Amino acid sequence: MGGLRSRILRTLQSFPNAAAAQSNLLLPPPPNAGDSPHPPPPAEPRGRVQELAPPLLETAPTVSNGDDKENVSPGVTPRKAKKMKLSSDHDDRSAEGDSRYRRPDLASATLFDPDLLAAFRRAVDAYAQALEESVKRRDDAIDDVDADGEGAGVVADPLEPFEMLCPPGGERAVVLYTTSLRGVRKTFEDCARVRRLLEGLCVVFVERDVSIHPPYRDELRALLCPEDGDGAAGFPVPPRLFVDGRYVGGADEVEALNERSRLPPLLRRAARRGKGEGPCAVCGGAWFLVCGGCGGRHWLHDDAGGGARAGTVVTARVACPACNENGLVPCPLCS
């Protein structure tokens, strides 16, 4: 600290103004100051020396005489401003006539590039054509397999290994027993998965919801869970798929057949949905309609045989014979 203080004092003394200010502040005025023709300059205030100190302290570390090197701070060089060069690549491309960029025409009906729209349409058409060709190749492959099987004398019908269990009205149809209740999540998801699989193959099938229509539940129980000797009968968990009077299996069996490419041959005789064909025009794909006889109430009031009793009319409540317990009837067109 002593060396630094001595260097600061020597630096202050090297400036004449600072030395005069310090001499005026420290030395008393001469006795004949009023007689001199030239009066001495007024002493600067003490704050002046305080203002000169900070810039002198900033320049002090730059003076080095080798006495105290650890207190010398390195010199700070001012940062140079980087020169930014504006790119003119866009102007060059527009000048060269690059076809990748095209300014939209504000007077046209659309602001999109017509070439881009045309390319998108071509891609969509190519995808639709490739999809049609793949479906056609699949159908041709199924026909070839059937022809080879008939010529070689092997089993031609791929449904032959499956058990003969025909639901009512399912001799020449694809019948799928499902449930719309979400009480058991896995059961509901299995039904939806098999349904999407059949829809993806464009197969016309009959869906029978066992949770809405009790007769469907009785049909499925009679087919797969016959009564034991004790009279007790279980209930099979949906979904269950039947094709042309043959029992194919549940969700796991159907998915395994599809992964081995054996499901499309099983459905080769099933009817196919056309392009853009929507759901049923009567029920809208719900497979059920509200009963018109009872208005969906499932109960009717009969006052014909009740008679009069003390001026009151006694009516009997009977169940509607045309609908189920939910007041619904199966769609006559698609069920």
- Cα Rg of the chain, angstroms: 50
User: How far is residue 305 from each of residues 37, 128, 200, 294, 302, measured CA to CA in Å?
Assistant: 149, 66, 55, 19, 7
**Residue 24: CB partners within 8 Å, gap ≥ 6?**
40, 41, 43, 44
Q: Give CATH superfamily name and number for 163-277.
A: Glutaredoxin (3.40.30.10)
CA 242 – CA 320 distance, rounded (Å): 31
Q: pLDDT at position 247, please? A: 96
Q: Looking at the chain, how many residues does it have?
A: 335
Tokens encoding 34:
């009023």
- 169-178 CB burial, b ≥16 within 10 A, e <16: ebeebbbbbb
- The H or E element spanning position 119 is helix 114-152
Q: pLDDT at position 162, please? A: 94
**Residues 181/188, Cβ–Cβ less than 8 Å:** yes
Q: Where are the domains of the chain?
A: 2-62, 121-156, 163-277, 289-330
Q: pLDDT at position 147, please? A: 58
User: How far is residue 134 from each of residues 127, 129, 143, 202, measured CA to CA in Å?
Assistant: 11, 9, 14, 14
18-52 pLDDT, tens digit each: 445 444 544 555 555 445 555 555 555 554 444 44
What percentage of the chain's residues is helix, strand, coil (to nearest 5)?
40, 10, 50
Q: pLDDT at position 30, please? A: 57
User: How far is residue 125 from each of residues 121, 135, 192, measured CA to CA in Å?
Assistant: 6, 16, 30
Residue closest to 207 by CA, chosen among 286, 290, 266, 277: 286
Low-confidence ranges of the chain (pLDDT < 50): 18-19, 21-23, 25-26, 33-34, 47-64, 66, 81, 86-90, 93-95, 151-154, 229-232, 307-308, 310
Question: Does the pTM exceed 0.75?
Answer: no
Q: pLDDT at position 196, please? A: 94
Q: pLDDT at position 51, please? A: 44
Place of tokens 């046209």: 108
Q: Which residues is 241 bridged to in the sheet? A: 176, 249
